[in-house]
Structures are given as structure tokens and as C-alpha cells.
């Protein structure tokens, strides 16, 4: 139901943070019934513009029109009144409330002056039913994993009759099936005449869903493409202003003596019997469904979760169950939930980069060597292209992708033996992704063991030398070389062995 | 069993245990008179901690309640001495409390001063103002004249040994419980305490809400002052001294977690009873002051230790639950397609 009617138009939106201009006159136009995709590098200003549209930030200059009329959106309520609902990149859920309470937070259904719990519950159950999400309406949000929180966030946005639904990287924590559901939902909404502003770094999603694509770079809109004009090359060149260097697969120099062996590992009821070896010099990918226990596996190795049984050895010696000891021995972990486990939101970038390295950044283990501390941080900021390149701003003020670079930088700037990655590039733009992969590769080439959990099939198959698929607490399949295709991983994740058919 | 319920039973069990110990080891513990006195004193701390619980659940802290009580106390006494009818005195004191709370709220939400520092400082300010307002004799020395206004002294009386302050406390506790658990205001306060940023993103009016919690806290302090001044038929500069910390302690003992988002009025009620039991039961032993302090402090530590223990246990349970949740359901979604 696309039409030429314009639901929302933003003109010349400008925004500064601490004197740095992050939006330099953004023009945005959303038509009725369309899916308008918004792409751009990390820090291009995508999240900022939608926060302005939805009344979280105040704009410095510019004008927003809704249905042709000039409007002022000063608060979240204003935005709601104009039919705008938003799924934010960093989730806006309250952990100690239930799913239902969260969905209706700030917009409770009232009856005789009191919140009508029954009505809200029914409404949420109905929503869960309609969208087929696997979610309980009375679950505490604090007890849910990332994917379910994301679903709650999505339901929260869908609970209102929105004319414009804005989604900031909604699929970064969803499984393929859930993503599919979300896409169906989007189609349903647009068929009804509502519009969607969709932000994602995943080109295949954009390719499939978008009617139009708006590309941002460095605080301004650099181009608008129609569905037919969207090609990967065009988009990436527009986004990063240069062509992408191709990552080529190369031969792996695997050193069998550098071996991390996991034997009969079990963890609570989630992992029952996991055995595998990871070798120095190779990148071992771990695939499987969201919630299949991959994250817990990584945490068991790192020492941040206590295994229930089995053994983990490095070069034949059993691993310590202590995180501190392991870090000393050259372990590093980039966790999935970067907000709560990965970085310290209010601390400046430099502390975040250095936090695990004070063993060599301090004299006698007590006095911080300030000069080296600064050098180390600046080095990492420069090498991993953290933007803005300032070591003093709190990490919470960085864009999502740049936060991820800081967490990666923390470990990559150390001399690592074992690097554990959990969804390492969630929210990172294509340009930086390619760079990060090359750093990870470099680390492996220097003989380190790299284990990478990823739900991004393209990443998993392109970056890993070998892939293990975890399913129902066990290693379901091992895919090497040519077998490691996206389809094979996907099938194995859901319990189908591709080879079975033709082998017999 | 429900976590919240379990948490309350812990405090309740502690109260029973302490009461049993006191009962077994002292003579006059199990007397009706003693219970009535204990309840009256618990009601004093209790009223304050009901107010403070709003602030703590909302994620802040209020240490100024002692000062607010002091100030409301002198407002009471002045009004009563001027011959104002009891109801007017009551309203006057509550308004005075609200005013103090509003000052706190203004500094914290508008001037963005840290809540701990604000309320610590404003507590002194309120006490200071009280000194200006105090009754003085001809030579300028502070005095505490007896209040004779009949209609005001009613508030300090009792029916069949149950003081009005106790009755008011229990009635208000029920109302506060309902407000915290059933109204939108209560829900928003919990969500603000649990995550201010997320709540703001969801359109919860943070500034207004926070301001209100401090005003409410002030109102409860004002009320507590009315009953106490009326019972003692006078006021003095040290009225409410130390109450700021005791009220916070009562809340924490009852499971209203510092940092916000957890606990409710029942916790504040149980916590107050527990605290009063400890603070006053000890006197019956005739111990030296040193031992009294030692034991009082020790028991409060133990109570908070139980709280911490419980916290870590329920955290474990939560983790288990979340895993069970994921094994049970998450795994099959792709097949369903
Ligand atoms: N609250 C804030 N204070 C200071 N600077 C900020 C704040 N929020 C964002 N910025 C800065 O604004 C710029 C744009 O950030 P924004 O989050 O909009 O990027 P983005 O396009 O969403 O990137 P990503 O793809 O990584 O999520 C970044 O350089 C970021 O550091
Ligand atoms: Mg963003």
C-alpha cells in the first residue's frame, strides 16, 4: 500500500553533543506504507536522528513535519500522540518488571483511576499470540535472555497503533525464525498503511525488506536509493566512501601443540556433553540457535560460569576456574551482552580499553603508569578506529558499533593466547567489520586460539576455518572447508544433517 | 514460593525469634503494656519509614527525615500554643513536612544535586531553622513549654491502650501498600528505581515522580511529628534526632533494597518493628551502654546479612529459571517455520 503521501518529514535537523556536531542538517522523508531503511557507518548518527524524532533528545535546529504540519516533539508522550513508536538499539526495558508491565510502562490501560491489570494481561497475551512469539506474559524481564528481551521490546512498540514504527537494529539478537516473524509483522503493518523506518547493518535484510533506502554518512544523508537501485556495492561505497576490501580465505597454519581441549563438558541442564579441540592458528566458529547454550559454553571456558562436569585443558594442563587467573594466562572474552557485561558505561573510553591490562600498565602492581596507560588507549583507539577518537568520553556516549570496537580493542591490544568472541560484530558496520575480521585473523595467524560464537551466518562461514554446531547441549555437527556453507549451518542448527541424504 | 513473600517471611521470622528470646530472658516482656509501648514506638519509626520507602524504592535516599520531624514538631507546637484547633495543627505540620520534602525534591530534580548530599545537608538546615523558631525564655534560652491545647493533645491519646499513632500507622501502611502495588504511581516508582533510563525512554515522567516521592516522605515525617509532639505534650530541639538513619535502616532490614526497585510497605512495617524491638528490648537487660550499642549494631548486621544471603539465593534462582526457560522453549523455534 505504498503511496506518495508523506507521513513524516524532517528538514535540516542538527544536533551537537559537547560541541561536536553529530547531525549536520539531516533531511529525512518517510512515505505512507513504506519500509524505509536507514543505513550508515557506526556513529553516522542514525540512532541520534530517531531519538530526536521520538522526543528523547531535543534538536538544535531543523523542523519536523507530520502529515504536512509542522510539529514540536519534546517528550516521548508527544511522539506517541503522533503515532510514532520506537524500538531502541539499547533496549529500554526495566528488569524488575514483568513482560506485561514493561509493555505498558508509561501507557498503562486505566480503569477507574487504577491500572487495569487484567485488561493489560489479555492484551499482551493476544499480542504474543498474533505475532507467535515464544514469550510468557508474566515472566520477569530480568530473567530473560537477550532474544526474549528483544521480543518484549518489539511487542512494546507494537502494542500501540503506530502510524510510524521505528526500529533500531531490532534483529541483532533474534534467531532466523524470529526475524522471519518480525518481517511478516512489518509486511502486515505496511499493508495496513503504516510506515516503518528500519535501521540495520545487515544488507540482506535491507535488500529484502526495504522499499527505499536512505544512506547516512558522518551526520548527513548522502543518498536515497529506490528498491531497484539497491546493490551491495553501491550501498557500501555510499556508506563508507570507498570500496570494501575483500576478505579472502587463506590457508591456515594450524599448530596442533597449541590446543584447548574441552572434554565431556556439562553445564546445568543446558550443556550435556560437549567435547572438542580448538587449535592455535585457526578460528573456530560455533553456530547454533539463540539459546542453545553457546554463550554458556564460552563462559565456562573463560571461567565466568562454573561448569557442572567435564574438563577443559590448555596444552594438557587443566584450566583454572578463575577469570583473573585465565586473563593472566592470556584469555580474553568479548561477551554477547556488551551493555551489562562488556563495558563500563560511565567510565571513559581509555579505562574501558585498559581495564584488563593493569598488570602491565602498573608499576609493582600498584601504581598506574599514566603515560603508558594513555599510549595504550590511544593506540587501540587509532588502530580499531573508535570514533570520535577521544579517550576521555564515557563509553555510553558512543554509538552502538563504536562501543563494540572499544570492547574488542580491550582484548586485541593485549598479548592473547585465547580469544573468545560472542557475537563479536553485533551492530558493527560493514566497513569496520572487515577491519575487525582482519585483526582477528592476524591474532590467529600469530598462533592464538580463537573461538567465535556467531548467529550471523555470513560472518560465521566467512571468518571461521572450522565450524561446530551446538544443538540440544551437544556438538551436533562439525563442518570444515567446503562443507561450511550457510545452508549447512542453518540445517544443522535445526537438527538436520545435510550429508545424510546423499551419503546413503 | 514467591520471592517477595519469602523475603517478608524472613523478617517476620527474625522478629519472632528475637521476641521469643527477649520473652524468655526478661521478666516484663510479655505484658500488654509493653506491647502497646513497643507498637507506639514502632509506629513512630514506622510512619517515617513508610515515607522513606517511597524514596528508596524510587532509587534515591532521604536522610533528612530527622530534620523534617524536628521542623514539623516546632510548627505543631507553635500552632497549638497559638490556640489553633487540633485539625489545623495536624494539617499545618503535614504541610510543613511537604514543604521540606519539596525543597529536597527541587534540589534533586531541578538543581540536579546528588540525593545523598542534598538530604544530608537539608536535614541540618531544617534542624537549624527549628532552632530559630524554638520557644525561648526571657534570657533567650531554649525552653519546652507544656502544650495545653486539648484538641491537639487528642492525637497522643489511646483507645484501650492502642495509641492513635499505632492505628494511623497501620491504616496508612495498608493504604501505602495498595498505592505501591496497585496504582500507576506505585508502578512507575518501582520502574524508576529499577532503571531510570529505561523508564524515561518509556515515557515515565521521572522528574515529577521523584519530586513527589520526596514530598510524600516529608508528609509522613510531618504526621509522625504531630503524634509524637502530642504524646509528649511538648517539643525540643533534638526531636527526631537520628531518625533519618533509623528509618532507612528499618526499610533495608525489611527488604526495601537501597538502589531502588525492590520492596514495599510491608517491608518497611516489619523492619520498623524489628528495629524497635532491638533498640528498646535491650534496655530491659540493664546492660552497660557499651554492650547495648554492641548488641544493637550486631543484630542489625545479622538482619542485613540475611538480606544479602537471600538476595544471592534468589539471584541464583532467577538464573536457573532463565535457563530452564530457554531450554524448554527457545530451541525449537526454527523448526516451527
Ligand atoms: N548522549 C551522547 N553524548 C555525546 N555524544 C553522543 C551521545 N549520543 C551519541 N553521541 C555521538 O553521536 C554520534 C552518532 O551516534 P549514533 O548513536 O547516532 O550513531 P549510529 O549511527 O546509531 O551508529 P551505530 O550503527 O554504531 O549504532 C557518535 O559519534 C556518538 O559518539
Ligand atoms: Mg545506533
Interfacial residues of B (vs A; Cβ cutoff 8 Å): 182-184, 187-188, 190-191, 194-195, 197-204, 261-262, 318-327, 329-331, 333-337
Query: Which one is predicted more confidently, B26 or B224?
Result: B224
Q: B330 to chain A nearest CA, in Å? A: 6
Report the atom number in ligand 1 closest to the C-alpha of A388: 29
Residue nearest atom 18 in ligand 1 by C-alpha distance? A45
Hey, are the CB atoms on B333 and A134 less than 8 Å from each other? yes
Site residues for ligand 1, CB cut-off 6 Å: A 17-18, 22, 40, 42-48, 89, 387-388, 397-402, 427, 429
| Residue B328 is assigned to a structural domain of this protein | no
Residue nearest atom 25 in ligand 1 by C-alpha distance? A42
What is the per-residue pLDDT for B319?
61
Question: pLDDT-based confidence at A502, cuts 50/70/90?
Answer: very low
A243-257, B38-52, B203-217: least confident range: A243-257
Q: Which residue has the cell 530473560?
A: A144
Distance A224 CA to ligand 2 centre (A): 19
Smallest CA-to-CA distance from A185 within A154, A153, A210 is with A154
What is the per-residue pLDDT for B331?
31
Alpha helices by DSSP H, listed for A19-173, are 46-53, 76-81, 99-103, 117-131, 146-158
Distances (CA, A) of A224 to A217, A227, B117: 12, 10, 52
Hey, are the CB atoms on B202 and A92 less than 8 Å from each other? yes
What is the per-residue pLDDT for B337?
28
Question: pLDDT-based confidence at A243, cuts 50/70/90?
Answer: low
CB environment B184-205: b (16+ within 10 A), e (fewer): bbbbbbbbbbbbbebbbbbbbb
Q: How do residues A27-63 score in pLDDT, each as one tens digit?
A: 999 999 999 999 988 888 999 999 999 999 999 999 9
Is residue B57 within 8 A of residue B227, CB to CB? The reply is no
Hey, are the CB atoms on A105 and B202 less than 8 Å from each other? yes
Q: Check pLDDT > 50 for residue A459.
A: yes
Q: Check pLDDT > 80 for residue B37.
A: yes
Percent of residues in chain B assigned helix, strand, coil, to nearest 5: 75, 0, 20
Residues in chain A: 504
Q: What is the dihedral of CA A90, A91, A97, A103, to 10 degrees?
A: 150
Question: pLDDT-based confidence at B327, cuts 50/70/90?
Answer: very low
Task: Measure CB to CB from residue B334 to each of A80, A91, A177 and give the nearest one.
Answer: A177
What is the per-residue pLDDT for A49?
94
Q: How do residues B126-171 score in pLDDT, each as one tens digit?
A: 999 999 999 888 888 888 888 888 899 999 998 888 899 999 999 9
Is residue B104 within 8 A of residue B266, CB to CB? The reply is no
Hey, are the CB atoms on B184 and A269 less than 8 Å from each other? no
A289–B contact, CB cutoff 8 A: yes
Percent of chain B with pLDDT over 90: 47
Report the atom number in ligand 1 closest to the C-alpha of A40: 21
Q: A175 to chain B nearest CA, in Å? A: 8
Q: A367 to chain B nearest CA, in Å? A: 30
Task: Measure CB to CB from residue B327 to each of A97, A113, A269 and give the nearest one.
Answer: A269
Is residue A232 within 8 A of residue A430, CB to CB? The reply is no
From CA A86, how far away is CA B155, in angstroms rounded? 53
Is residue A303 within 8 A of residue A312, CB to CB? The reply is no
Hey, are the CB atoms on B194 and A290 less than 8 Å from each other? no
Q: Check pLDDT > 60 for residue B328.
A: no
Task: Measure CB to CB from residue A134 to each of B198, B321, B329 and give the nearest one.
Answer: B329
Question: pLDDT-based confidence at A399, cuts 50/70/90?
Answer: confident
Q: What is the dihedral of CA B283, B284, B289, B291, to 10 degrees?
A: -110
Which DSSP helix (H) or strand (E) runs through B218? Answer: helix B206-232
Hey, are the CB atoms on A147 and B261 less than 8 Å from each other? no
Mutation choice for ligand 1 from A15, A17, A87, A430, CB with most ligand atoms inside 8 A: A17
- For A260, the grid coordinates are 584447548
| Residue B91 is assigned to a structural domain of this protein | yes
The mean pLDDT of chain B is 86
Hey, are the CB atoms on B323 and A94 less than 8 Å from each other? no
A149-153, B40-44, B153-157: least confident range: A149-153
Hey, are the CB atoms on B194 and A75 less than 8 Å from each other? no
From CA A329, how far away is CA A324, in angstroms rounded? 9
Question: pLDDT-based confidence at B304, cuts 50/70/90?
Answer: confident
Angle between helices B265-281 and B3-25 (to 10 degrees): 20
User: What pairs with residue A255 in β-bridges?
Assistant: A280
Report the atom number in ligand 1 closest to the C-alpha of A44: 21
Report the atom number in ligand 1 closest to the C-alpha of A51: 18
From CA B14, how far away is CA B278, in angstroms rounded? 11
CATH label of the domain that carries residue B97: 1.10.3470
Q: A143 to chain B nearest CA, in Å? A: 5
Q: How do residues A198-213 score in pLDDT, each as one tens digit?
A: 998 887 888 888 999 9
Q: Check pLDDT > 90 for residue B113.
A: yes
Average pLDDT over residues A356-381: 84
Q: What is the DSSP letter of B238?
A: T
Residues lying with their CB under 5 A of ligand 2, a single-atom ion = A 47, 89, 399-400
Average pLDDT over residues A185-210: 87
What is the per-residue pLDDT for B112?
92
- For A226, the grid coordinates are 529506490
Query: Which one is predicted more confidently, B105 or A207?
Result: B105
| Residue B163 is assigned to a structural domain of this protein | yes
CB environment A348-367: b (16+ within 10 A), e (fewer): bbbbbbbebbeeebeeeeee
What is the per-residue pLDDT for A501?
42
Q: A34 to chain B nearest CA, in Å? A: 25
From CA B204, how far away is CA B198, in angstroms rounded? 9
Chain B partners within 8 Å of A114 (Cβ): 182-184
What is the per-residue pLDDT for B326?
44
- The string of DSSP codes covering B25-83 is H-SSTT-HHHHHHHHHHHHHHHHHHHHHHHHHHTT----THHHHHHHHHHHHHHHHHTT
Report the atom number in ligand 1 closest to the C-alpha of A404: 26
Contacts of A295 (CB under 8 A, 6+ apart): A335, A336, A422, A453
Q: Check pLDDT > 50 for residue A103.
A: yes
B2-6, B15-19, B175-179: least confident range: B2-6
What is the per-residue pLDDT for B192?
92
Nearest CA in chain A to B261: A96
| Residue B295 is assigned to a structural domain of this protein | no
Residues in chain B: 337
User: What pairs with residue A8 in β-bridges?
Assistant: A30, A66
From CA A292, how far away is CA B261, in angstroms rounded? 31
Range of the domain at B75: 31-276
Is residue B172 within 8 A of residue B266, CB to CB? The reply is no
Chain B partners within 8 Å of A56 (Cβ): 200-201
Q: Which residue has the cell 516508582?
A: B189
| Residue B36 is assigned to a structural domain of this protein | yes
Nearest CA in chain B to A142: B318
Hey, are the CB atoms on A147 and B330 less than 8 Å from each other? yes
From CA B27, how far away is CA A180, in angstroms rounded? 73
Mutation choice for ligand 1 from A338, A352, A398, CB with most ligand atoms inside 8 A: A398
From CA B100, how far away is CA B79, in angstroms rounded? 17
Hey, are the CB atoms on B330 and A96 less than 8 Å from each other? no
| Residue B26 is assigned to a structural domain of this protein | no
Range with the largest mean pLDDT of A99-113, A236-250, A484-498, B90-104: B90-104
Could you tell me the pTM of the whole model? Answer: 0.77
Domain count, chain B: 1
Q: Check pLDDT > 50 for residue B334.
A: no
Average pLDDT over residues B96-110: 96
| Residue B82 is assigned to a structural domain of this protein | yes
| Residue B53 is assigned to a structural domain of this protein | yes
Q: How do residues B198-225 score in pLDDT, each as one tens digit?
A: 888 888 889 999 999 999 999 999 999 9
Q: A51 to chain B nearest CA, in Å? A: 10
Distance A47 CA to ligand 1 centre (A): 7
From CA B265, how far away is CA B254, in angstroms rounded? 9
Please measure the distance between the N-terminal and C-terminal CA atoms of chain A and give it in whole angstroms: 49
Interface of A with B in 44-73 (CB under 8 A): 56
User: What pairs with residue A69 in β-bridges?
Assistant: A66
Interface-testing mutation among B334, B335, B337, with chain A (most A C-beta atoms within 10 A): B334
A95–B contact, CB cutoff 8 A: yes
Contacts of B82 (CB under 8 A, 6+ apart): none
Amino acid at each position: 500500500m505504498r503511496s506518495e503521501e508523506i507521513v513524516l518529514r524532517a528538514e535540516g535537523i542538527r544536533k551537537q553533543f559537547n560541541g561536536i556536531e553529530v547531525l549536520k542538517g539531516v533531511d529525512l522523508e518517510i512515505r505512507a506504507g513504506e519500509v524505509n531503511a536507514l543505513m550508515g557507518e557506526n556513529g553516522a548518527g542514525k540512532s541520534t536522528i530517531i531519538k530526536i524524532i521520538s522526543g528523547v533528545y531535543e534538536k538544535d535546529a531543523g523542523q519536523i513535519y507530520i502529515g504536512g504540519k509542522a510539529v514540536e516533539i519534546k517528550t516521548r508522550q508527544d511522539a506517541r500522540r503522533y503515532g510514532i513508536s520506537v524500538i531502541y538499539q539499547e533496549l529500554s526495558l526495566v528488569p524488575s518488571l514483568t513482560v506485561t508491565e514493561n509493555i505498558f510502562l508509561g501507557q498503562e490501560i486505566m480503569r477507574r483511576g487504577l491500572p487495569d491489570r487484567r485488561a493489560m494481561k489479555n492484551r499482551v497475551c493476544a499480542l504474543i499470540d498474533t505475532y507467535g512469539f515464544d514469550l510468557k506474559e508474566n515472566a520477569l524481564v530480568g530473567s530473560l535472555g537477550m532474544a526474549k528481551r528483544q521480543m518484549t521490546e518489539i511487542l512494546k512498540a507494537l502494542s500501540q497503533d503506530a502510524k510510524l514504527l521505528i526500529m533500531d537494529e531490532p534483529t541483532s539478537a533474534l534467531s532466523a525464525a524470529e526475524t522471519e516473524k518480525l518481517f511478516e509483522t512489518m509486511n502486515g503493518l505496511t499493508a495496513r498503511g503504516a510506515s516503518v523506518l528500519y535501521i540495520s547493518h545487515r544488507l540482506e535484510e535491507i535488500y529484502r525488506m526495504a522499499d527505499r533506502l536512505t544512506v547516512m554518512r558522518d551526520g548527513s544523508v548522502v543518498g536515497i536509493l529506490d528498491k531497484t537501485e539497491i546493490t551491495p556495492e553501491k550501498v557500501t561505497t555510499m556508506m563508507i566512501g570507498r570500496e570494501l576490501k575483500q576478505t579472502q580465505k587463506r590457508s591456515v597454519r594450524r599448530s596442533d601443540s597449541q590446543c584447548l581441549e574441552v572434554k565431556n563438558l556439562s553445564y546445568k541442564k543446558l550443556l550435556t556433553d560437549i567435547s572438542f579441540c580448538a587449535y592455535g592458528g585457526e578460528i573456530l566458529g560455533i553456530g547454533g540457535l539463540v539459546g542453545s547454550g553457546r554463550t554458556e559454553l564460552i563462559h565456562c571456558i573463560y571461567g565466568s560460569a562454573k561448569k557442572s562436569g567435564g574438563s577443559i585443558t590448555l596444552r594438557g594442563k587443566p584450566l583454572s576456574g578463575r577469570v583473573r587467573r585465565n586473563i593472566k594466562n592470556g584469555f580474553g572474552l568479548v561477551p554477547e551482552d556488551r551493555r551489562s557485561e562488556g563495558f563500563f558505561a560511565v567510565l571513559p573510553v581509555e579505562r574501558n580499553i585498559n581495564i584488563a591490562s593493569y598488570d602491565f600498565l602498573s608499576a609493582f602492581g600498584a601504581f598506574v603508569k599514566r603515560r603508558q596507560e594513555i599510549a595504550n588507549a590511544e593506540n587501540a583507539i587509532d588502530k580499531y578506529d573508535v570514533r570520535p577518537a577521544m579517550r576521555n568520553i564515557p563509553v555510553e556516549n558512543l554509538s552502538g558499533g563504536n562501543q563494540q570496537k572499544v570492547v574488542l580493542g580491550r582484548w586485541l591490544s593485549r598479548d592473547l593466547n585465547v580469544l573468545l568472541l560472542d557475537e563479536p560484530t553485533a551492530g558493527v558496520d560493514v566497513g569496520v567489520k572487515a577491519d575487525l575480521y582482519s585483526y582477528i585473523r592476524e591474532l590467529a595467524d600469530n598462533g592464538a586460539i580463537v573461538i567465535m560464537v556467531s548467529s550471523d551466518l555470513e560472518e560465521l562461514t566467512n571468518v571461521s576455518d572450522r565450524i561446530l554446531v551446538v544443538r540440544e547441549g551437544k556438538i551436533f555437527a562439525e563442518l570444515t572447508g567446503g562443507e561450511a556453507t550457510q545452508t549447512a549451518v542453518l540445517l544443522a542448527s535445526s537438527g538436520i544433517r545435510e550429508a545424510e541424504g546423499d551419503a546413503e | 514460593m514467591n520471592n517477595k513473600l519469602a523475603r517478608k517471611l524472613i523478617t517476620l521470622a527474625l522478629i519472632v525469634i528475637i521476641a521469643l528470646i527477649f520473652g524468655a530472658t526478661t521478666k516484663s516482656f510479655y505484658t500488654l503494656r509493653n506491647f502497646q509501648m513497643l507498637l507506639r514506638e514502632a509506629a513512630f519509626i514506622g510512619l517515617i519509614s513508610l515515607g522513606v520507602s517511597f524514596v528508596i524504592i524510587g532509587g534515591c535516599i532521604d536522610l533528612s527525615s530527622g530534620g523534617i520531624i524536628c521542623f514539623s514538631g516546632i510548627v505543631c507546637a507553635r500552632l497549638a500554643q497559638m490556640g489553633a484547633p487540633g485539625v489545623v495543627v495536624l494539617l499545618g505540620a503535614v504541610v510543613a513536612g511537604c514543604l521540606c520534602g519539596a525543597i529536597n525534591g527541587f534540589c534533586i530534580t531541578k538543581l540536579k544535586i546528588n540525593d545523598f548530599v542534598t538530604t544530608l545537608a537539608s536535614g541540618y538546615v531544617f534542624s537549624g531553622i527549628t532552632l530559630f523558631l524554638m520557644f525561648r525564655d526571657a534570657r533567650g534560652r531554649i525552653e519546652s513549654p507544656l502544650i495545653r491545647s486539648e484538641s491537639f493533645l487528642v492525637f497522643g491519646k489511646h483507645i484501650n491502650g492502642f495509641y492513635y499513632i499505632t492505628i494511623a500507622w497501620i491504616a496508612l501502611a495498608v493504604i501505602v501498600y495498595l498505592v505501591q502495588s496497585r496504582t500507576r504511581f506505585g508502578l512507575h516508582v518501582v520502574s524508576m528505581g529499577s532503571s531510570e533510563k529505561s523508564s524515561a525512554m518509556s515515557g515515565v515522567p521521572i522528574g515529577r515522580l521523584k519530586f513527589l516521592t520526596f514530598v510524600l516522605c516529608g508528609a509522613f515525617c510531618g504526621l509522625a511529628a504531630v503524634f509524637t509532639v502530642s504524646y509528649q505534650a511538648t517539643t525540643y530541639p533534638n526531636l527526631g534526632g537520628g531518625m533519618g538513619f533509623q528509618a532507612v535502616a528499618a526499610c533495608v532490614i525489611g527488604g526495601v533494597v537501597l538502589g531502588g526497585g525492590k520492596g514495599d510497605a510491608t517491608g518497611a512495617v516489619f523492619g520498623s518493628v524489628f528495629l524497635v524491638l532491638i533498640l528498646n528490648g535491650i534496655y530491659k537487660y540493664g546492660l552497660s551502654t557499651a554492650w547495648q550499642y554492641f548488641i544493637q549494631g550486631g543484630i542489625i548486621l545479622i538482619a542485613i546479612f540475611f538480606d544479602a544471603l537471600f538476595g544471592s539465593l534468589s539471584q541464583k534462582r532467577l538464573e536457573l529459571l532463565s535457563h530452564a526457560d530457554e531450554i524448554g522453549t527457545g530451541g525449537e523455534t526454527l523448526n516451527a517455520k
